[in-house]
């Protein structure tokens, strides 16, 4: 009798492998959607790391075309991760994809942070990549990116997603796409905004597919992808207005409805854009109290009545006879129509143009040089400034008590306080009134909310130019159209434009005002000024920090020529691109028509 030996070890390995596969599949199937998002994140983080490593390996061997292809591949990989990196690791996100400009932290104004990341790398890849020094810079900048990726990988095991955070992160990333992505902010040299928008939308759809989302949401996102990926358009010809109204806003609405249907709560976080808002375009989406201090006065009718009275009260300036309304006239959109107002100290003008107070509450810093955070501090600074109002807030309560109506008005506004008429409450009441001057209901807003009859073809073209070819939207971020940075709108940017001292374009000279530099002496902030809103700008002439331009046509001509550097001025740290925009006269008029569509008939308190 013969026996056949069986290799039980081989059979056992096969059985064990099969059992392992079954167990793995079972575990994967049992993962919650949020846990599957973590798997998605980890996979794409590895792919991003691999893409950057491959790019660096080819730094010196690839030709220009291949080098740019490698760069684009890395950017596409990052767009798969951006929603999570921006949400959980904002510092790393800034080092990976921040603007190619030096920065300073508010708490350490003297500490300059050099730029780093993709936008720095893009300048090298699209400038003169064939030179050896440039290739060295490319290699070095990829090193910086790889360092950030390694940091992310070290934090990976500690990262835990929740359903509400996933939906919140995706929504914020869609805001980022609308306000910064399709404007060209992310891709100033490569002009790859549309392909990258496609990648962002695809990533959004893939992450949401891990949840049991309705088919309508997936359909809306696919339509968004198709709209930005259409082969019959480029960056300049892309119809952003049509995209937002027809595709993007319905997708945001479907995302909001889906979150409610799945009973996933909205995050409980105090933000500029309310987390529970269906979109940052809807009425009431922005919360002005986000920018207020913890002890800000509540905007009750009594408080706003007191604040308005104080706003018009010349007693606050002592014997000078000047009120807040003297320079911020309500019938002039809270400006004065002057190049600069007159100084109380001498027969001279003030240093800077009077800005509008409409929507001033929707920014984290006040004054052209961003020197104070809160409106309450601005009230104090203006009233006590010897050139502007020349008052003393410490003396104001006694003066107001002599005017019969004020003790009653203060008692009504601050009903729970034993001594309501105080210096502190003067500041709080005026600030509450200014904070109520928020109006985001222009014809443009109505258009984005679905009434496409309210804008003309010229105005729609103007918006598309503003957000595209003219590059206005890369500094005046939608939908506030000021320098407050989306999607969190928690900090505001300053720009160096090279504004001239006069409107003489034949013999221009740089305005002497050094702006933000005067605060801390930081070199890259010379001639830097906060980016103001262009809402209601058609009602707030003259323009720029020094009031040099009387018309919007002059302003558009200045930008079209490349700012101060384009005029031939020496502005080595100009943040505005000095290249000509090549806008035709008709295109400039279209942009001006759009700006006029940003006028609000009145400010309304939200």
Question: Using CA atoms, how far apart are residues 478 and 533, in angstroms rounded to an integer?
Answer: 10
Angle, helix 132-155 to helix 33-57, in steps of 10 degrees: 160
Query: Of 355, 365, 298, which is closest to residue 329 (Cα–Cα)?
Result: 355
Give the whole-angstrom CA distance, residue 459 versus residue 379.
36
Query: pLDDT, tens digit, for every residue of 481-521?
Result: 999 999 999 999 999 999 999 999 899 999 999 999 999 99
Neighbours of 77 (CB within 10 A): 20
Residue 320's pLDDT is what? 83
Token pair listed for 470: 């003219």
* Backbone dihedral angles phi then psi of residue 104, each to the nearest 5 degrees: -130, 145
10-residue mean pLDDT series, the chain (606 residues): 45 54 54 97 98 97 94 97 98 95 77 91 87 91 98 96 98 98 94 96 98 97 97 95 98 98 96 97 96 97 98 93 95 96 90 96 96 97 95 94 93 96 98 96 96 97 98 97 97 97 94 95 95 96 97 98 96 94 98 97 48
Q: What SS3 class is residue 108?
A: strand
Whole-number pLDDT of residue 19 = 56
**Cβ atoms < 10 Å from Cβ of 24:** 10
Encode pLDDT of 344-393 as tens digits: 998 889 999 999 999 999 999 999 999 999 999 999 999 999 999 999 99
Q: How far apart are the first and last CA of the chain?
A: 96
Residue 103 backbone phi and psi in degrees, to 5: -135, 165
Architecture of domain 443-596: Orthogonal Bundle (1.10)
pLDDT score recorded for residue 130: 78
Domain spanning 289-435, CATH class:
mainly alpha
> Is the CB of residue 324 less than 8 Å from the CB of residue 430?
yes
Q: Please tell me the predicted confidence (pLDDT) of residue 604.
A: 42
| 563 upstream amide cis, omega within 30 of 0 | no
**28-268 has which fold?**
A middle domain of Talin 1 (1.20.1420)
DSSP class of residue 243 equals I
Structure letter (DSSP) for residue 247: I
> Matching CATH topology for 28-268 and 289-435?
no
**Angle formed at CA 581 by CA 236 and CA 464, multiple of 5 degrees:** 35
**What residue ranges do the domains of the chain occupy?**
28-268, 289-435, 443-596
What are the residues whose beta carbons fall under 8 Å from the beta carbon of 29, sequence distance 6 or more? none
Contacts 24+ apart (CB under 8 A), 229-233: 229/194, 229/195, 229/198, 233/194
Q: Which residues contact 334 (CB under 8 A, 6 or more apart)?
A: 328, 356, 357, 358, 437
What is the H or E stretch that residue 444 is in? helix 443-448
The pLDDT of residue 24 is 46
Say what the pTM is: 0.92
Instruction: Report the relative pairing of strands 494-496 and 108-113 from DSSP bridges.
Output: unpaired
């Amino acid at each position: 009798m013969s026996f056949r030996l069986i290799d039980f070890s081989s059979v056992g390995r096969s059985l064990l492998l099969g059992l392992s596969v079954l167990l793995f599949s079972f575990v994967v199937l049992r993962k919650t959607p949020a846990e599957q998002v973590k798997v998605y994140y980890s996979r794409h983080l590895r792919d991003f790391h691999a893409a950057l490593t491959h790019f660096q390996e080819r730094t010196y061997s690839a030709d220009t075309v291949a080098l740019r292809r490698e760069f684009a591949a890395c950017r596409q990989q990052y767009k798969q991760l951006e929603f999570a990196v921006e949400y959980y690791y904002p510092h790393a996100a800034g080092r990976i994809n921040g603007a190619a400009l030096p920065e300073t932290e508010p708490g350490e104004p003297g500490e300059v942070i050099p730029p780093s990341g993709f936008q720095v790398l893009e300048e090298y890849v699209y400038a003169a990549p064939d030179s050896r020094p440039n290739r060295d810079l490319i290699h070095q900048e990829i090193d910086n990116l790889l360092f950030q990726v390694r940091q992310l990988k070290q934090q990976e095991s500690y990262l835990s997603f929740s359903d509400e955070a996933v939906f919140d992160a995706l929504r914020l990333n869609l805001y980022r796409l609308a306000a910064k992505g399709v404007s060209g902010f992310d891709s100033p040299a490569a002009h790859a905004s549309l392909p990258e928008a496609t990648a962002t939308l695809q990533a959004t759809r893939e992450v949401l597919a891990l949840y049991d989302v309705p088919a309508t949401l997936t359909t809306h996102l696919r339509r968004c992808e198709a709209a930005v990926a259409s082969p019959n358009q480029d960056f300049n010809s892309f119809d952003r207005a049509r995209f937002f109204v027809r595709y993007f806003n319905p997708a945001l609405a479907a995302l909001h409805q889906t979150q409610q249907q799945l009973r996933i709560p909205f995050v409980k976080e105090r933000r500029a854009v309310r987390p529970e808002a269906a979109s940052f375009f809807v009425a009431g989406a922005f919360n002005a109290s986000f920018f207020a201090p913890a002890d800000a006065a509540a905007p009750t009718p009594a408080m706003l009545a007191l604040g308005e009275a104080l706003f018009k009260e010349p007693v606050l300036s002592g014997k000078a006879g000047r009120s807040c309304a003297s320079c911020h006239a309500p019938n002039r959109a809270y400006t004065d129509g002057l190049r600069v107002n007159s100084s109380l100290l001498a027969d001279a003008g003030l240093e800077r143009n009077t800005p509008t107070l409409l929507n001033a509450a929707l920014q984290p810093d006040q004054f052209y040089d961003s020197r104070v955070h809160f409106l309450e501090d601005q009230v104090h600074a203006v009233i006590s400034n010897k050139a502007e109002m020349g008052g003393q807030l410490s003396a104001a309560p006694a003066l107001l008590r002599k005017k019969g109506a004020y003790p009653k008005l203060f008692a009504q506004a601050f009903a729970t306080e034993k001594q309501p008429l105080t210096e502190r409450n003067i500041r709080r009441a005026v600030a509450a009134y200014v904070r109520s001057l928020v109006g985001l209901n222009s014809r443009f807003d109505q258009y984005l909310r679905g009434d496409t009859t309210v804008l003309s073809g010229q105005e729609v073209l103007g918006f598309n130019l503003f957000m595209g070819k003219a590059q206005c939207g890369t500094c005046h971020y939608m939908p506030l159209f000021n320098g407050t940075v989306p999607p969190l709108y928690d900090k505001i940017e300053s720009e160096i434009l090279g504004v001239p001292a006069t409107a003489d374009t034949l013999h221009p000279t740089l305005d002497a005002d050094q702006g933000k530099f005067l605060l801390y002496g930081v070199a890259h902030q010379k001639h830097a000024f906060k980016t103001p809103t262009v809402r209601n700008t058609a009602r707030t002439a003259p323009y720029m920090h020094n009031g040099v331009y009387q018309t919007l046509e002059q302003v558009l001509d200045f930008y079209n020529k490349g700012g101060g550097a384009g005029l031939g001025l020496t502005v080595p740290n100009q943040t505005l691109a000095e290249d000509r925009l090549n806008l035709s006269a008709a295109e400039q008029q279209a942009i001006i028509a759009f700006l006029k569509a940003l006028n609000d008939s009145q400010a309304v308190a939200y």
